[in-house]
Amino acid sequence: MNILVCIKQVPDMESKFKVNSGGTWYDTTELAWRMNEYDEYAVEQAVQLKEQVKDADITVLSIGSNKVKETMKKALAMGCDRGAHIADDNVSSKEPCEIAGAIAEYAKDKNFEVIFTGMQSQDRGSGQVGVLVAEMLSLPAVTTIVDFSYTDGRLEVKRELEGGIKAKVALNSPALVTCQLGLNTPRYPTLPNIMKAKKKELVSLPIEDLLKVDARQQTAKIYFPEKKGGGLVIEGDPGELADKLIQILKEKTGVLA
Amino acid sequence: MKLLLVAEYREGSVLGSVTDLLGFAEKVGGEHVMFLVGSDSILPQYDGKLYLADSAKHGEYSPTVHKELLLEVVGRENPDMIVFSHSSYGWDLAPRVAWALKAAQVSEVVNYVDGTLVVPVCNAKLRRDVQVNTRITVVTLQAGAFGLNGLPSGSPAVEMIDVDSAGKVEFLGYEEAEAGGVDLSKAEVIVSAGRGIGKPENIEMISALAKALGGEYGASRPVVDSEWAEHSRQVGTTGQTVAPKLYVACGISGAIQHLAGMKKSEFVVAINTDKDAPIGEVADVLVVADLTQFIPVLTEKISSL
């Protein structure tokens, strides 16, 4: 069974962001990078599926500059078998349609039985790429899954809806699912597996060979939102801060009365 | 400008997100029609034309079938913009419709300024203005971003629609939210723990502060996903929506899904080391402090009042 898992490298969301010189994306220098959180669940579910069916081969795919290979190595250390790096130094200007188009073009003749993606990226957050890949490949897709099981070509999954309700659905492979946080517990790569991952295949393909869909939108401008809150910011020694806060709560709320 | 508003129906109710759709339509201006897969006995309050498909036949959610129903309406109405909520229904269906129509899709729109769609980036730390190149635009709206002046009213002029289509995804049933646990909606004070508390043992410290303030403790999604707190304590889109007199957010960065669940609180205190965290946007007071140093001191002082 061939399995594909698509991952993205994103900045740590606690980072101090700056706008780049063109004003169309965040400045990508001086940031700490990691695997998109949703994709960690996708990788884990792919590896668990392989552990279940035994005879499987997992390809991890990522699009970006050479830097994204670091994140791909983590996926290989978690248990993916090979890496397909789609080399693109200008990935942040690509819209979801172009990204999905490149993935679909890569995947179309490789007989993937199940494709896993995160439900969205933490930086752009469009939530479109997974569904678009499925539509382009005419595969059934289920988004935002929080439970996954596979038996003989049949997937039974739970979709997370609003307010804690879940929808149970079934579909036949080949299929695509987009993974929500909490789907499983992503494993930490062990040292021996990190060493093994260094020897796994990791090929780079130029994005130009796979780019078949034109952009339908662009970023005109990126900027910091106006601070609308007139909220009070207090700093200092914990004891003094506590006194200050208690005073505010007494004045502004009824809870300490 | 002509809009096609996509309303949602689940388990016998039209979802409240219909006010977001109408609020957006009001802001954009122009004419609009509505689409719903639901029931003719439970109609949305809407003073306009409603294309209705029967959920008893077409399912409350069947991606392919609902896509084809929508495309049927698009064929009849030829809208400039198709408007979904950024919800489990909207983010699943919108890309399918956009791809079929060769339309650009702009996700999680938070504002519309002089014809430009605005979306959040990086957990709402940044904003992005989007320029669309296609004639039809598909958008999903962030929950609560577009308020409506007043309440929706009126009875729609219903036109039934139907397609013969079968989906590849089989719906097996709903699983309701876990019953029991804590009902945070009744608490007057809620002290919530976010990922910033660092480790599960620190829930104790949050619980102690909640007790000292006479309230309950809650948690953000990552804390519940890590099983540091039970699901009934989760505040946010996929947990509970709360509006206490006092909400204290401890180590919570303020993801949109969390803010949607607590922004109606009367008074919000955020305790965080990151001054720029989005939670600051809704906080009346932002205490910049290390949680493990500050909270025990605060709890002790409150307890001895």
Residue A36: which of A224, A231, A178, A222 has the closest Cα? A178
Q: If you measure CA to CA, which chain B residue comes closest to A134?
A: B96
Residue B207 belongs to what H/E stretch?
A: helix B203-212
Cross-chain residue pair A171–B168, CB shorter than 8 Å? yes
Q: How many domains does chain B have?
A: 2
DSSP state of A95: -
Nearest to B95 among A123, A131, A168 (CB): A131
Same-domain pairing of B39 and B94? yes
Nearest to B269 among A126, A142, A245 (CB): A245
B287 touches chain A (CB under 8 A): yes
* Model pLDDT, residue B145: 87
Whether residue B170 is contained in a domain is answered as no
Whether residue B13 is contained in a domain is answered as yes
Whether residue B17 is contained in a domain is answered as yes
From residue A203, alpha-carbon distances to A4, A82, A194, A253 in Å are 15, 8, 18, 60
Answer yes or no: is pLDDT of A229 > 70.
no
Distance CA A122, CA A115 (A): 20
* Model pLDDT, residue A198: 96
* Model pLDDT, residue B239: 85
Same-domain pairing of B147 and B193? no
* Model pLDDT, residue B144: 82
Whether residue B57 is contained in a domain is answered as yes
DSSP-based three-state secondary structure for A240 = helix
Answer yes or no: is pLDDT of A230 > 70.
no
Same-domain pairing of B139 and B15? yes
Same-domain pairing of B7 and B63? yes
Whether residue B173 is contained in a domain is answered as no
DSSP state of B234: B
Segment A6-32, tens digit of pLDDT? 999 999 988 889 999 999 999 999 999
Segment B94-115, tens digit of pLDDT? 999 999 999 999 999 999 999 9
Same-domain pairing of B192 and B246? yes
Q: What percent of chain A has pLDDT over 70?
A: 98
Segment A153-208, tens digit of pLDDT? 999 999 999 877 899 999 999 999 999 999 999 999 999 999 999 999 999 999 99
Same-domain pairing of B218 and B290? yes
Q: What mean pLDDT do residues A231-237 have?
A: 91
Whether residue B41 is contained in a domain is answered as yes
CATH (domain of B291): 3.40.50.1220
DSSP-based three-state secondary structure for A162 = helix
Same-domain pairing of B201 and B279? yes
Same-domain pairing of B24 and B136? yes
* Model pLDDT, residue B150: 82
Cross-chain residue pair B61–A167, CB shorter than 8 Å? yes
- State the amino acid at position A144 in one-letter form: T
**CATH number of the domain at A2-209, out of 3.40.50.1000, 3.40.50.620, 2.60.40.10, 3.30.379.10?**
3.40.50.620
CA distance A195 to chain B (A): 28
DSSP state of B199: S
- Is A151 exposed, middle or buried (CB count within 10 Å of its CB: 0-12, 13-18, 19+)? exposed
CA distance B29 to chain A (A): 22
Last residue of a domain, one of B127, B160, B193: B160
Rounded mean pLDDT for each run of 10 residues along chain B, 305 residues in total: 96 91 95 97 95 94 95 98 97 98 97 95 92 97 86 93 91 84 87 95 95 94 90 88 94 90 92 88 92 96 91
User: Which residues in chain A are closer than 8 Å to B103, comparing Cβ atoms?
Assistant: 216
Q: How many residues make up chain B in this entry?
A: 305
What does DSSP say about strands A141-151 and B170-175: parallel, antiparallel, or unpaired?
Answer: unpaired
* Model pLDDT, residue A125: 95
Confidence class for position A228, pLDDT limits 50, 70, 90: low
> Which two tokens mark A96?
């979801």
Cross-chain residue pair A19–B231, CB shorter than 8 Å? no
Cross-chain residue pair B177–A170, CB shorter than 8 Å? no
User: Which residues in chain B are closer than 8 Å to A16, comparing Cβ atoms?
Assistant: 276
Whether residue B54 is contained in a domain is answered as yes
Cross-chain residue pair B128–A215, CB shorter than 8 Å? no
> Which two tokens mark A157?
């999954």
- Is A218 exposed, middle or buried (CB count within 10 Å of its CB: 0-12, 13-18, 19+)? middle
Q: If you measure CA to CA, which chain B residue comes closest to A166?
A: B175
Nearest to B294 among A142, A160, A242 (CB): A242
Q: If you measure CA to CA, which chain A residue comes closest to B11?
A: A165
* Model pLDDT, residue B255: 87
Q: If you measure CA to CA, which chain A residue comes closest to B143?
A: A162
Calculate the average pLDDT of chain A.
95
Segment A57-85, tens digit of pLDDT? 999 999 999 999 999 999 999 999 999 99
Whether residue B99 is contained in a domain is answered as yes
Same-domain pairing of B246 and B117? no
User: CB-based contacts of B213: which residues, under 8 Å, 6+ apart?
Assistant: A255, A256, B189, B191, B246, B248, B302
Cross-chain residue pair A217–B168, CB shorter than 8 Å? no
Same-domain pairing of B145 and B190? no
Same-domain pairing of B130 and B30? yes
ipTM of this complex prediction, to 2 decimal places: 0.92
User: Which residues in chain A are closer than 8 Å to B238, comparing Cβ atoms?
Assistant: 160, 162-164
Residue A93: which of A66, A73, A70, A63 has the closest Cα? A63
Residue B88: which of A159, A158, A73, A238 has the closest Cα? A159
Same-domain pairing of B123 and B245? no
Residue A176 belongs to what H/E stretch?
A: strand A175-179
Cross-chain residue pair B238–A249, CB shorter than 8 Å? no
CATH (domain of B54): 3.40.50.620
Residue span of the structural domain in which B64 resides: 2-160
B129 touches chain A (CB under 8 A): yes
> Which candidate in B122, B127, B223 is best for mutational testing of the A interface (most A CBs within 10 A)?
B122
